[in-house]
Amino acid sequence: MMNRRGRMPRILPNWCGCLERGQIFGRIGTPIALIFRATRWIRGEFIHEGENVLQVLIVDDVASLRRTLRLTLESQGHRVTEAGTGTAALSMLGSERIDLVFLDLRLGQESGLELLPTMRMRSPGVGIVVMTAFAAVDTAVEAMRRGAFDYLPKPFTPEQLRLLLARWEQVRGLQREVDSLREQMRAAVPELDLSTDEPQVQSTLDVAFRVAPTDAAVLIRGESGTGKGVLARAIHQRSKRVGRPMIPVNCPSLSAELLESELFGHARGAFTGAVEATEGKVAAADGGTLFLDEIGDLPVSLQPKLLRFLQEKQYERVGEARTRTADVRILAATNRDLEADVAAGRFREDLLYRLNVIELSLPPLRERRRDLLAIARHLLQFFARQTGKELHGFTPEAEAAIYRHRWPGNLRELRNAIERGVILTMDSEVDLRHLPHQLAQLPSAGRIEVGGPVTLEALEAEHIRRVIATSASLEDAATILGIDPSTLYRKRKKLG
Ligand SMILES: Nc1ncnc2c1ncn2[C@@H]1O[C@H](COP(=O)(O)OP(=O)(O)OP(=O)(O)O)[C@@H](O)[C@H]1O
């Protein structure tokens, strides 16, 4: 392998082995580290400060071994601190920023293996590499089981160490990427609060979470936008398959042929354009969950194949005779009347029975009056965080309008409306004028109810608006409301 200057690096001797025996660097450790670094700089291998520089803690009861490792690490550009006991190591982990720990498994009377879980608890993101002169596979396995990142047998060469550090850098990079993607997801998708004050929704959630850990097929029914996909994910997250993927398949999005290939995969050359073999979503969901959205739109020709897969866990790729198996839990959702589809011959009855071992039903939002404002406020705070705005909530008029609207698009429509409101407002509240115009239309009679989940302010605003609308003058309205006309004038101005 060539270095950055295009020269072949020399094979490095086993410095660590020498050092363990010779101890010659004990008194002149730092100058030697500088010479090491200068040599590496001349050879074009210099590590810039701040770039890939790790903060390393060496935990070993033998001072000479700590020094040996320290020299090698410092020569590679890293910063090192040392601890001779478990107690000292734990206190450093609690007080300093440490990226990586080299932990000797034999710490005098203490056992590094015993210390490992406490270290991880003290500093969850830290990487721990265990070292021992008594290299044994079972100790290594046990150390990894307790959360060690890697295992380094003693003696080791600088090259072994360099490879290990490079691997740690790679893992750290991936972890950072995962964290940043998670952050982006959190920003894009509201942290969903499934809690509810509606008894019907609560009993649906109770059943959902009771069946979640089993492998039973679940059919979720509800109008479009009622949160069927969200409920499916919540079930998957509470199942024992949570470490494996949940793969969604949108049944109406493709023709029967393409959907079959999307589900079960195809062999190379199975049809025009099939230049490569694909494994399909069933295989991708092996060990996990397959979420079949809009199952009512599954083409009739595909229904027997899905039924067979549900019964026998077996399938074939398109254009291939070989039978394959996959261990997949099926969750399905529909907004259609599947019984009517069965009666009309559009959906197989046996497939319906297989799919709805457990049936869950989500009501439309217009039937979740007790939850409506709580969900709206939750979404407002989510979008406020996302846009960096500090919002106190909705104006009473906005709340009244949210409460009386029928929400034909259900939670999806509500989410979009609140997002729009948060984006448009320049004040500390979201007002009716920031919400979609449909919400500003006059209420159909009786939508806002005394005793409903609505604030006093919203109730007052609605009452004032209706009394003014049906009174001949402001004075008449004030008389009906039992307040001074000037007070009513002020309130009316405030209500816009
Ligand atoms: N409890 C909730 N709180 C806030 N928003 C929610 C909630 N449940 C669902 N949503 C939002 O509503 C939208 C629709 O949800 P989802 O896709 O799960 O509905 P669906 O019933 O599967 O819709 P479709 O039938 O059209 O596929 C999504 O944007 C989702 O984030």
CATH number of the structural domain 366-495: 1.10.8.60
Q: Is the minimum distance from the CB of 195 to ligand 1 under 6 angstroms?
A: no
Q: Is the minimum distance from the CB of 192 to ligand 1 under 6 angstroms?
A: yes
Scan for tokens 């601890």, then name that residue: 83
Euclidean distance between the first and the last CA atom of the chain, given in angstroms as a whole number? 75
**DSSP bridge partners of 120:** none
Distance from the alpha carbon of residue 226 to the mean position of ligand 1, in angstroms: 5
Q: Is the minimum distance from the CB of 354 to ligand 1 under 6 angstroms?
A: no
Distance from the alpha carbon of residue 413 to the mean position of ligand 1, in angstroms: 9
Q: Is the minimum distance from the CB of 226 to ligand 1 under 6 angstroms?
A: yes
Q: How many CA atoms lie within 13 A of 293 on its CB side?
A: 19
Distance from the alpha carbon of residue 288 to the mean position of ligand 1, in angstroms: 22
Could you tell me whether strands 323-325 and 314-316 are parallel, antiparallel, or unpaired per DSSP bridges?
Answer: antiparallel
**And the tokens for 392?**
């106190």
Which atom number of ligand 1 is nearest to the Cα of residue 222?
21
Nearest Cα neighbor of 496 from 432, 438, 451, 448 is 432
Domain boundaries, the chain: 15-180, 199-363, 366-495
pLDDT in the model for residue 20: 37
Q: What is the spatial distance between Cα 151 and Cα 132, in angstroms, rounded to a whole number?
A: 9
Residue type, 340: A
Q: Is the minimum distance from the CB of 332 to ligand 1 under 6 angstroms?
A: no
Q: Is the minimum distance from the CB of 224 to ligand 1 under 6 angstroms?
A: yes
Q: Is the minimum distance from the CB of 335 to ligand 1 under 6 angstroms?
A: yes
Scan for tokens 């060469």, then name that residue: 157
Distance from the alpha carbon of residue 137 to the mean position of ligand 1, in angstroms: 49
Length of the chain: 496
Ligand 1 pocket test: pick from 186, 202, 230 the residue with the most ligand atoms within 8 Å of its Cβ: 230
Distance from the alpha carbon of residue 367 to the mean position of ligand 1, in angstroms: 15
Distance from the alpha carbon of residue 365 to the mean position of ligand 1, in angstroms: 11
Could you tell me whether strands 314-316 and 429-430 are parallel, antiparallel, or unpaired per DSSP bridges?
Answer: unpaired
pLDDT in the model for residue 496: 60
Distance from the alpha carbon of residue 227 to the mean position of ligand 1, in angstroms: 3
Q: Enter the ipTM.
A: 0.98
pLDDT in the model for residue 409: 93
The superfamily CATH assigns to domain 15-180 is Response regulator (3.40.50.2300)
Scan for tokens 């979404």, then name that residue: 379
* pLDDT tens sequence for the chain (496 residues): 333 333 333 333 333 333 333 333 333 344 444 455 444 444 444 444 444 788 999 999 999 989 989 999 998 889 999 999 999 999 888 788 889 999 998 888 888 888 898 888 888 788 999 987 765 677 878 888 888 999 888 888 888 888 999 899 888 888 888 877 876 776 666 667 788 999 999 999 999 999 999 999 999 999 999 999 999 999 999 999 988 889 999 887 778 888 999 999 998 887 877 778 888 999 999 999 999 999 999 999 999 999 999 999 999 999 989 999 999 999 999 999 999 999 999 999 999 999 999 999 999 999 998 999 999 999 999 999 888 999 999 999 999 999 989 899 999 999 999 999 999 999 999 999 999 988 887 554 445 677 777 778 888 888 888 888 777 778 888 888 999 888 888 887 777 6
Scan for tokens 């060990």, then name that residue: 287
User: Of all helices (H) and strands (E), which one includes residue 330?
Assistant: strand 329-334
**Angle formed by the axes of helices 86-95 and 112-122, to 10°?**
10
3-class secondary structure, 71: helix
> Residue of the nearest CA to atom 6 in ligand 1?
411
Which atom number of ligand 1 is nearest to the Cα of residue 229?
18
**DSSP bridge partners of 349:** none
Q: Is the minimum distance from the CB of 375 to ligand 1 under 6 angstroms?
A: yes
Q: Is the minimum distance from the CB of 411 to ligand 1 under 6 angstroms?
A: yes
> Residue of the nearest CA to atom 7 in ligand 1?
227
Q: Does CATH place domain 199-363 in 3.30.565.10?
A: no
Q: Is the minimum distance from the CB of 248 to ligand 1 under 6 angstroms?
A: no
Distance from the alpha carbon of residue 412 to the mean position of ligand 1, in angstroms: 5
3-class secondary structure, 370: helix
Domains 15-180 and 366-495 share a fold: no
Q: Is the minimum distance from the CB of 334 to ligand 1 under 6 angstroms?
A: no
Q: What are phi and psi of 449, to 5 degrees?
A: -115, 140
**And the tokens for 288?**
């996990």
Distance from the alpha carbon of residue 192 to the mean position of ligand 1, in angstroms: 9
Distance from the alpha carbon of residue 335 to the mean position of ligand 1, in angstroms: 13
Ligand 1 pocket test: pick from 415, 416, 419 the residue with the most ligand atoms within 8 Å of its Cβ: 415
Q: Is the minimum distance from the CB of 412 to ligand 1 under 6 angstroms?
A: yes
> Residue of the nearest CA to atom 4 in ligand 1?
192
Q: Is the minimum distance from the CB of 204 to ligand 1 under 6 angstroms?
A: no
Q: What one-character DSSP code corresponds to residue 7?
A: P
Q: What one-character DSSP code corresponds to residue 13?
A: P
Per DSSP, the chain holds a count of helices (H) and strands (E) of 20, 16
**And the tokens for 5?**
């200057």
Q: Is the minimum distance from the CB of 225 to ligand 1 under 6 angstroms?
A: yes
Cis peptide before 155 (omega within 30 of 0): yes
Nearest Cα neighbor of 371 from 171, 160, 226, 186 is 226
Nearest Cα neighbor of 429 from 386, 370, 377, 493 is 377
CA-based radius of gyration for the chain: 33
Task: State the alpha helices, DSSP H only, in 147-302.
Answer: 158-188, 199-211, 228-237, 256-264, 280-284
Could you tell me whether strands 289-293 and 246-250 are parallel, antiparallel, or unpaired per DSSP bridges?
Answer: parallel
Ligand 1 pocket test: pick from 411, 418, 419 the residue with the most ligand atoms within 8 Å of its Cβ: 411
The pTM of this model reads: 0.60
> Residue of the nearest CA to atom 26 in ligand 1?
224
Could you tell me whether strands 358-361 and 218-221 are parallel, antiparallel, or unpaired per DSSP bridges?
Answer: parallel
